[in-house]
Structure 1
């Protein structure tokens, strides 16, 4: 059964069921009616994967062997993220769309059957669990050749509303602990579909980086009574040298201890725990700084930069007074034809070494003529 919900900024979400039982959600601003059915044959969904504990570091690892057969860099005429046209039956039944979100066809994590609880962590004797969670795909545009930087401000605002809506909906699921919307761009990052899109991973556990950030934030608060991220932002604003863009409600900077040749944090000046808590004014001013940051990134070398753009937000049920929403954009491109490889020190030891100072990359980003 269709579900139509009015959101903020004139965005309307229409949710429909696909032939294989997955849900597709259209986010529209022009009064569109979504009625075209999924014409593909029914298809059995993959089962849930395994969750295993690596006892050496106390981190969960999801096993999703069914993903080995997923589509890899198809030509434009076979792109599954383009609108359905003629004989090309894609993930999106309609022949056009603004922003659309649908359940991933090859999910790393999927909803569990019945009640769910993580196994107790007891070192090497920890039981195997189910890889519970939710994985969704979010398409930014029907234009196969587009990119985030070329989206209109209105489209970015609609995209933000979709991120906010999915965060709100996924937070209601009892087995979800953390929600992470992100975009991978470029084959250097490992992108398997060239169409402009992102993903939303909703985990049943706290990912390692979130766990570490929460641990450090708690210690800082116990010692000082202050929120660590607020102190970090205050330092960036005070130093000023690494700030690359700013408007009334947001600031973008290269952090003092960047790990990547080009790393940008986009932060709301009014701190919030997650996307759902952004005030209307902050939402409306996000598109301008988001587009500017992406244009500056591509303008550094005059080429399409490979990057990961990930929203970091507080977990669903803990640490909401300690962690702050921010958008991290990282690129391994250090020069035309040269990448920053995460090799021995970074991948094996987890110890990052930077070949250039963040002040240098900040200046390069600021020098881009828009």
Structure 2
């Protein structure tokens, strides 16, 4: 009899309409792959060479204020520029380009260079969320902006150029491809059923209790059924809202709570500062309302078997379709079993 815990199968990503290949039997094979060097370097609370620390000079010469709360500024090396002229090219529908304008902002989560989200207090994470909301509102006031991506790259293996706790906010004049897919899937489901796709999905997940990692009154963090990365998770708001600005003060506190609890479990998984790329997905701005949109936040971490073994997208995954060995259920069971006391704060670590 077919069994998803033993046999190869595909799973549908309901947010994109695409399938992934799951091969749980491959977990039995011996590992002889690449091993990275584990990094558990202790960082100082202030680094005079860090261009994000309070009072320090940034690479382009600007001086940071001596900030005590989350601090935001326009990226000195922005991927998008607000003054990009409108234009494009098209040669026989084969060589096609189109100008793209926008704004890239950097948000320092804390003045303390040594912290990360799991090591911050919930009240301080809540301040970050409030600044996310302020920035979203300010950027959305520009009528040419169509999408605002709030995200964080954590760890040098995820391309993070500075260990100071920070994230980014990119606002663009077009809607990126992944968001176009999610818009289509969510709106089609809403038009057919009259309910949010993620509301119904979350209801089913809460009934089954197979992939839940963290839950509170307003949010759930789970390993999605279609997860590609080994310990991929997604945070979904229990209330059907389209954008982060719609959260109440109580929901802000609840989101801060889930962010701390989830990222603490990540760090505890391999007793390391767990790398990931994480970001919110929410309804585009300055367009007609899309009632099917439901706010959620993705976490894509690369670690596979330990702090020194990384998952690569290669071969079949680059040429055909994403593939994973660890099932979503195995990953959720592992994450949910971990302590919510950070390993650096455990009694053994204090000795």
Q: Same fold (TM over 0.5)?
A: yes
1:110 to 76, 81, 85: 81
Per-residue Cα deviation, 1:122-172 (whole angstroms, up to 9, x for no partner): 94364x432301100000111112111111111111100000111111111
2:49 to 67, 72, 78: 78
Deviation of the 1:367 alpha carbon: 1.3
**Alignment check: 8 A CA contact 1:83 1:90 kept:** no
Partner of 1:189: 158
- Report the TM-score, using the length of structure 2 for normalisation: 0.77
Comparing both chains, which one has the higher relative contact order based on Cα–Cα distances under 8 Å and sequence gaps of 6 or more? 2
Partner of 1:180: 149
Matched, 1:333 2:333: no
- Report the TM-score, using the length of structure 1 for normalisation: 0.73
How many angstroms apart in 1 are the aligned matches of 2:314 and 2:161? 22
2:317 to 331, 346, 353: 346
How many angstroms apart in 2 are the aligned matches of 1:302 and 1:153? 21
Per-residue Cα deviation, 1:50-105 (whole angstroms, up to 9, x for no partner): xxxxxxxxxxxxxxxxxxxxxxxxx9432110112599997553234210010010
Partner of 1:268: 237
**Alignment check: 8 A CA contact 2:72 2:107 kept:** yes
Query: Which piece of structure 1 moves more, 143-152 or 316-325?
Result: 316-325
2:70 to 95, 99, 107: 99
Structure 2: gaps of 5 or more residues = 1-45, 342-351
State the Cα RMSD in Å: 2.6
**Alignment check: 8 A CA contact 2:100 2:174 kept:** no
1:154 to 113, 118, 123: 123
Deviation of the 1:253 alpha carbon: 0.8
Deviation of the 1:319 alpha carbon: 5.5
Structure 1: gaps of 5 or more residues = 1-74
Per-residue Cα deviation, 1:270-290 (whole angstroms, up to 9, x for no partner): 111001111222112222111
Partner of 2:259: 290
Per-residue Cα deviation, 1:17-66 (whole angstroms, up to 9, x for no partner): xxxxxxxxxxxxxxxxxxxxxxxxxxxxxxxxxxxxxxxxxxxxxxxxxx
1:364 to 329, 334, 347: 334
Deviation of the 1:121 alpha carbon: 12
How many angstroms apart in 2 are the aligned matches of 1:104 and 1:88? 10
Instruction: Give runs of aligned pairs for residues 38-57 of structure 1, distance below 5 A.
Output: none
Per-residue Cα deviation, 1:257-277 (whole angstroms, up to 9, x for no partner): 111111111121111100111
The change in CA–CA distance for 1:250 and 1:122 in structure 2 (over 3 A counts) is: farther
Deviation of the 1:353 alpha carbon: 0.5
**Count of equivalent residues:** 293
Matched, 1:259 2:228: yes
Secondary structure at 1:292's aligned position in 2? helix
**Alignment check: 8 A CA contact 1:184 1:307 kept:** yes
How many angstroms apart in 2 are the aligned matches of 1:334 and 1:206? 31
Matched, 1:234 2:203: yes
How many angstroms apart in 2 are the aligned matches of 1:202 and 1:353? 31
Secondary structure at 2:254's aligned position in 1? helix
Deviation of the 1:188 alpha carbon: 1.2
Deviation of the 1:333 alpha carbon: 0.2
